[in-house]
Amino acid sequence: SRSSGNCADVAGCSVVSFQIEENKEKSQGHEGSSHRKRKQMPIMPMEKYRMKYLWVTNLCSQAWCEQQMMYEFEFPELLKLEKTDAMNKGASIHLARELEVHDVVSVTTQTKEDSWAIKFLNILSMIPVLQSGARVREFPVFRELNGIFVVGMIDELGYTPKGELELRELKTRTTPTLPGTSQTVTHQFQVSLYKLLFDGMVTGLVQPDVFIQHLQLKPDQALGEQVIEHVKRAGFTASTFGDLLDLTCLNLTFSELPTIDCLKLEYCYQADGTSLGFKTVTFEEEKLMELLNSCLSFWKGQKEAQGVDIEEAWKCRHCSFASICEWRTRRSEHLSRTGQSKRTK
Ligand code: SF4
C-alpha cells in the first residue's frame, strides 16, 4: 500500500525537501552534558552525554580516534576554529548540491515529534522518486543496531546505467588531494553503515514500537499546525506523530525499493568545488560488524575510550585535544620507560 504525495513531481524529478526551521525541543541525540560533573556511580556514556541515539558521524569520529570523539563531547569549546570553519564550508557545498535536485522548504516545528515528522515527510516524498528511477538527496536513515539506535543522512541515492541502486557520498577536502588510508577507512565505514541502515529500512526491520522506545517520543502527540499542512499537501492523512510513523514504516516496507548495490565516495576540493576523484567501496559485512560492535561496546559502558595506537600517533599532531589528552600522556610515559629499559639493557 504505497502512497504518493504532490510534493514530489516524479516526472520532472522536482522534489521538495522539508527543512526544520525552528526547533524548541533539541532534536539531536546529544542534548548537552551539564550534569556531567555530578558525583555519583559511573554511568553509561549514552546516559552521561544524554544521548537517545547516535549519529553515523559519531561512530565515524570514534573509528578515527575514540578518545578524541569523547573529548568532543566533553570539551566542545576546545575544537579548533579551523575545523569548525572547514565543516561550515563543507555544509555549504552539500547544500548547493541538494538544491540541484530539489527545493528546500522551511517548516516551523514545535516538538521533538514534529522534527522527526519532517524526516518522515522527506522519506515519504522521496520514495516515489526513487521508484521512478530518479535520484534523491539527503535521505534520512535510522534503525536499531545491536541495542543502540543509529541515525544518519545519505547524501545521494541514484541508479547506475545498469539499473543498480548506488549510494554516493560527497566528501569535501581542504587540500586538493585524495585522502590517505586512515581517512578512507572512516569514509568506508560511514557509507557501509548507511547501507546497513537503508537496507534494514526497506526490508521491514524498523519497528514503530522500537523507534518510540529508543527515542522516547509520544505516538499520540498531535502534529504541529505547519507540519499537518504539509502532510495534507503531500496527499497523506495523519494527525498524530504515531500515524505518520506507521505510515512511513509501511511505505518503506511495501515500496519494493531495492537494497543498495553500490557504494561510491566522491572527493571535491573545498576551495573551488572541483571534483578530485571517486572511490568505489566494497561492502564487507563481517569487517563492518566487527568495527561497529567495538564502537558500540564503548557506548554500552563495556570498555573505556581508547586513543590511537603508536602507528597512528601522527593523528595527535592535528588533534584539538592533544594538550589535555591523558591517553597521549600515558603513551609518551610508556615509551620513555621502555626506551630507558632498552638503553639499560
Ligand atoms: Fe586521540 Fe591523539 Fe587526540 Fe589523544 S591526542 S585524542 S590519542 S588523536
Supply the pLDDT for residue 219: 97
- Kindly list the distances between the CA atom of residue 29 and the CA atoms of 7, 24, 233, 313, in Å, as whole numbers in the listed order: 28, 15, 29, 30
Supply the pLDDT for residue 103: 65
Successive 10-residue mean pLDDT values, the chain, 345 residues:
32 49 47 50 83 96 95 86 62 64 75 95 95 95 96 96 96 89 93 98 95 96 93 92 96 95 94 90 97 96 93 92 93 79 39
| Ligand 1 contact via 281 beta carbon (within 6 Å) | no
| Ligand 1 contact via 79 beta carbon (within 6 Å) | no
Query: Which residues of the chain form CATH 3.90.320?
Result: 8-26+44-306
Supply the pLDDT for residue 26: 41
CA dihedral over 99, 124, 25, 69, signed as positive or negative:
negative
3-state secondary structure of 304: coil
Q: Which atom of ligand 1 is nearest to the CA of 325?
A: 4
Supply the pLDDT for residue 341: 44
Choose which residue among 65, 304, 317 to substitute to test ligand 1 binding: the one with the highest number of ligand atoms within 8 A of its C-beta. 65
Q: Which atom of ligand 1 is nearest to the CA of 320?
A: 3
8 A C-beta contact, residue 98 and residue 138:
yes
Burial of residue 264 (number of CB atoms within 10 Å: 0-12, 13-18, 19+): middle
Supply the pLDDT for residue 96: 63
ipTM above 0.85, yes or no: yes
3-state secondary structure of 14: strand
Q: Which three cell numbers stand for residue 273?
A: 568545488
Choose which residue among 69, 79, 310, 316 to substitute to test ligand 1 binding: the one with the highest number of ligand atoms within 8 A of its C-beta. 316
| Protein residue with its CA nearest to atom 8 in ligand 1 | 316
Burial of residue 134 (number of CB atoms within 10 Å: 0-12, 13-18, 19+): buried
8 A C-beta contact, residue 19 and residue 105:
yes
| Ligand 1 contact via 142 beta carbon (within 6 Å) | no
Q: Which three cell numbers stand for residue 284?
A: 564487507
Domain 8-26+44-306, CATH number (from 2.40.50, 3.90.1720, 1.20.1250, 3.90.320): 3.90.320
| Ligand 1 contact via 62 beta carbon (within 6 Å) | no
| Ligand 1 contact via 327 beta carbon (within 6 Å) | yes
Supply the pLDDT for residue 345: 33
| Protein residue with its CA nearest to atom 2 in ligand 1 | 316
Choose which residue among 318, 325, 330 to substitute to test ligand 1 binding: the one with the highest number of ligand atoms within 8 A of its C-beta. 325
Supply the pLDDT for residue 6: 30
Supply the pLDDT for residue 80: 67
8 A C-beta contact, residue 60 and residue 151:
no
Over its C-alpha atoms, the chain yields an Rg (Å, rounded) of 22
Using CA atoms, how far apart are residues 163 and 159, in angstroms rounded to an integer? 5
Which helix or strand (DSSP H or E) is residue 95 part of? helix 81-101
Supply the pLDDT for residue 11: 29
